[in-house]
Structure 1
């Protein structure tokens, strides 16, 4: 059994895009005019629900004849740290206001709106209000917009007097490969579904719920413009199939459709196996689609084209030096030796690689490969991972491989002899899907969205954000552990420091970074891990990126335009705004400017050309930690077979990707592109092994 990491989280700290996350959660404001009055309700308890960010928000409201006496709010399916935290503050606000018309919780607008909508439905029931009729439009075409994840989504809606005739999304800048670009993405499917059902109560696309909500909000605005009742349309019935249990037979069933799962399914299909894929969300991509899509590899033709000398042996030695005896030499060497071949395999499946960069421009050799920037994304930026997952998804679809969406796998099926023979899962409507198969490949991602698992494996990350999909709840670990799989108990996770408001990151930026006390603690121009490590090692859980208008980074410049960004004419005034000792921040900025003028960073060794003085108006962008990759997980061999506690393979069970991110790095995340690269490679290995199994 492999050696376990020492307790205490080892953070592979980086600064990265915040994927459009909004401001920190704050208490909601109450309406000034409570609406309750004597004798308006029929006493009792009423229930309703409305679509939230990630799930149906369920509410029960208890009323007397004259007032709201209790509110029960179930937001357990919403995002931890955001929507999942609105229950109590919203309840208090509603009870105080005696109305659903209260301000929402900042940072969780969609969930807050769902709570208010569900509460209003309950109150309407209590007041005996009949549902408004759908229709009664003024014929014509109307336009409206609503804020999506990345910006405004503009729709054009055409009405007859009785119905919505057509919906066209005319402008959007949402994330490629999640919000649009797939056959199941909301931009592709929601307009048609709303028209088909004549309802705004259609399901949001799991995995792209913010975009889904914005599309429905913009259409609702058009409904109102046309003289219709948008609230009635939200409650209009949706034609859904009756819940029906289904059973399938396959040679290989792959669970999860990120880089690992898609690669596994393609590889197994290429070997002639009948393959079925189960995906928990409504779109493929998983955590890979949200990532920068970078892949670390050595000895590639892309490196050669840029004049870079590198070998698999050099890459192995680098990773081994950082990871030490926590590295599984056989697994890592296999990846390094075949990393170039893996890149060419991905290229053969439609992935286009654009160039090669270093994990940081101060380090060499350059071996981090960027997929082609596309779909409005910057090369290597958050969301660019879809340049990998979209081509792989299209390859699967063109090959006729069936992908069953919105299925949460929850049980491995085993024979009396302990051989894995299939898997079972549940749909949102409660119906079950069973797939009988000779081999099961688990590619379910990590567990960063599972609070209990985070407490079990990564005890010190309580209160951290997470940027991974809400589907990353450790399902594969739970299922595999139940059939005797060995789990590498690693408390280490990759944690990145991000700005919740603008996504400013520290990778090549030239600004000043301070900890929560206003102290400079690190050379800002170094590999991401070491920058974040400097903040953490100073005893602070967050820090600030201090900048002036002269900062050359475009993302920083965007952050400076936001009203929520603290700024002031002096360091002392800024310190007061962010809760830092003015004398400390003044001294820090003064010393930094002194070093800029001197041309030598005597304190931390930052290169002279990266030293930009802080002058004029001063801004502070808060940086908070967020978990992006969970380490450890299932233990596998070089054939991607899942091992038991005796290091023996469990017959019929394979795994790849973050669910089995074991033995590939130590406490420090050594390079961008390791998680995605190994996911795609070992996904292939798992698919080939599963297809060859008797």
Structure 2
């Protein structure tokens, strides 16, 4: 990447255009930042390297956790930011940045109500299944339960709010002044032309580094051979900018893993496991407590013979999965094998019948004795799998990284040398250090999306203030009031 020096800024000449706030990236973080900056009255330009606003968000189930919302209260669910923060801290082993954890937990509920009340997004509370690590039902999802709907709704809202977009363009240069503030960015347009854009503040929302195989091998070698199921544009631009700027980086070993269908790379919803499903390897043996979390399960699966395993479940445990479009795609793909007996199931997935029978017998014995099984997992009698059985062959996958630029509770970028904030550079989402800590085991479901939305909102508002705009006060949104 080109020089970021003061001299380069002085030699760049007058910019071709200008925006109060320039945002790099049009995923959930960038779009939420655009909405917040526009709410403050700032002019916004979102620079996106793709031909459309998509990002990693569109590849998720769109499950956005939020604490203390009216959606929860309507269903009698008592939740608080403190409770959410405690769940995040527990899952991360108390290794996530405490200031950012508190900011994200406090901002989660208000962000959902702000998106609903001010910008017209529609959410429903997912209260039929409780994902590992969450002590309350707090997933807020679009009506379709897809990230594609959430992404499109954010884009439509940002356009309606007056944000401008520059597609097929990639920021290649940051021009700093003598005060270490970014005053302009250089962009390479889709036709190869270069353009300098002046700005009052910059938001980095470029995603993580999952699409950069060398960076993955360096920072999370356990996933070097995993299938990558995130956005190809997540190549680590934020890390590169951070290195050039002298910014602090943190938790680069953190990531979200998942288990995907071997043939199609479609993710298999974890509701199947929550409802009693188990995983066995090619030897017909279980290898972990599947309820520890789907992120760390990906690496455990990769360590199995051949790097594959099978999720086993039944007709009862499938009932909730059928509500998800992704699972219906898995069914349509022909990846689900069915069997009317354990013998037939062992034959269908080509594992030793004796080993598989021993797995089922051990689980049933743990239920009879009212104790956890050998892996520390508790099953209820209802969760014991019964014929007809289902099986899907899986491999471990990397969805997105969770480490990146260190930011404060305002989403301001921090210097490595002294921990102080840069005057007008902000970051969120995959570009920033999240709240999962340094390992996959710290990932609490929804951490990626909640940090994209909440840090995006904080970054947009902070960037607008850095550019000379104060957030308007006639509307604060839901429980912000």
| 601, 620, 634: which one aligns with 2:405 | 634
Return the alpha-carbon distance in structure 1 between the equivalents of residues 191 and 41 of structure 2. Answer: 33
| 332, 335, 354: which one aligns with 2:101 | 332
Q: Deviations over 1:70-120 (max 9, x none)?
A: xxxxxxxxxxxxxxxxxxxxxxxxxxxxxxxxxxxxxxxxxxxxxxxxxxx
TM-score, length-scaled by structure 2: 0.80
Aligned: 1:397 with 2:155: no
Deviation at 1:655, TM superposition (A): 0.9
The match for 1:518 is 284
Judging changes above 3 Å, is the alpha-carbon distance between structure 1 residues 440 and 325 closer, same or farther for their aligned structure 2 residues?
A: same
Higher helix share: 2
Aligned: 1:342 with 2:342: no
The match for 1:353 is 123
The match for 1:658 is 430
Task: Check conservation: 2:87, 2:133, Cα contact below 8 A.
Answer: no
Judging changes above 3 Å, is the alpha-carbon distance between structure 1 residues 533 and 425 closer, same or farther for their aligned structure 2 residues?
A: same
Return the alpha-carbon distance in structure 2 between the equivalents of residues 523 and 635 of structure 1. Answer: 32
Aligned: 1:542 with 2:282: no
Deviation at 1:542, TM superposition (A): 3.1
DSSP 3-state at the match of 1:251: strand
Aligned: 1:322 with 2:88: no
Deviation at 1:249, TM superposition (A): 1.1
Judging changes above 3 Å, is the alpha-carbon distance between structure 1 residues 283 and 484 closer, same or farther for their aligned structure 2 residues?
A: same
Task: Check conservation: 1:355, 1:371, Cα contact below 8 A.
Answer: yes
Judging changes above 3 Å, is the alpha-carbon distance between structure 1 residues 439 and 460 closer, same or farther for their aligned structure 2 residues?
A: same
Task: Check conservation: 1:525, 1:606, Cα contact below 8 A.
Answer: no
Deviation at 1:543, TM superposition (A): 1.5
DSSP 3-state at the match of 2:246: coil
TM-score, length-scaled by structure 1: 0.57
Return the alpha-carbon distance in structure 1 between the equivalents of residues 358 and 284 of structure 2. Answer: 9
Q: Deviations over 1:289-321 (max 9, x none)?
A: 221222222222111111111222222222223
Return the alpha-carbon distance in structure 2 between the equivalents of residues 597 and 337 of structure 1. Answer: 39
Aligned: 1:613 with 2:386: yes
The match for 2:258 is 496
Deviation at 1:560, TM superposition (A): 6.4
Return the alpha-carbon distance in structure 2 between the equivalents of residues 263 and 249 of structure 1. Answer: 20
Alignment of 1:359-374 (within 5 A): 360=130, 365-373=135-143
Aligned: 1:472 with 2:242: no
Return the alpha-carbon distance in structure 2 between the equivalents of residues 563 and 338 of structure 1. Answer: 42
Deviation at 1:587, TM superposition (A): 3.6
DSSP 3-state at the match of 2:311: strand
The match for 1:461 is 223
Return the alpha-carbon distance in structure 1 between the equivalents of residues 370 and 329 of structure 2. Answer: 29
Deviation at 1:429, TM superposition (A): 3.0
Deviation at 1:359, TM superposition (A): 7.0
Return the alpha-carbon distance in structure 2 between the equivalents of residues 439 and 644 of structure 1. Answer: 16
Number of aligned positions between the proteins: 438
Bigger RCO of structures 1 and 2 (CA < 8 A, at least 6 apart): 2
The match for 1:505 is 269
Return the alpha-carbon distance in structure 2 between the equivalents of residues 290 and 591 of structure 1. Answer: 37
Deviation at 1:619, TM superposition (A): 5.4
CA RMSD of superposed structures (Å):
3.3
Judging changes above 3 Å, is the alpha-carbon distance between structure 1 residues 462 and 674 closer, same or farther for their aligned structure 2 residues?
A: closer
Judging changes above 3 Å, is the alpha-carbon distance between structure 1 residues 524 and 675 closer, same or farther for their aligned structure 2 residues?
A: closer
Q: Extract unaligned runs of 5+ from structure 2.
A: 1-14, 468-481
| 418, 423, 426: which one aligns with 2:180 | 418
The match for 2:445 is 672
Return the alpha-carbon distance in structure 2 between the equivalents of residues 633 and 414 of structure 1. Answer: 21
Return the alpha-carbon distance in structure 1 between the equivalents of residues 58 and 350 of structure 2. Answer: 37
Deviation at 1:261, TM superposition (A): 0.6
Deviation at 1:449, TM superposition (A): 0.7
Deviation at 1:531, TM superposition (A): 5.5
Return the alpha-carbon distance in structure 1 between the equivalents of residues 31 and 332 of structure 2. Answer: 40
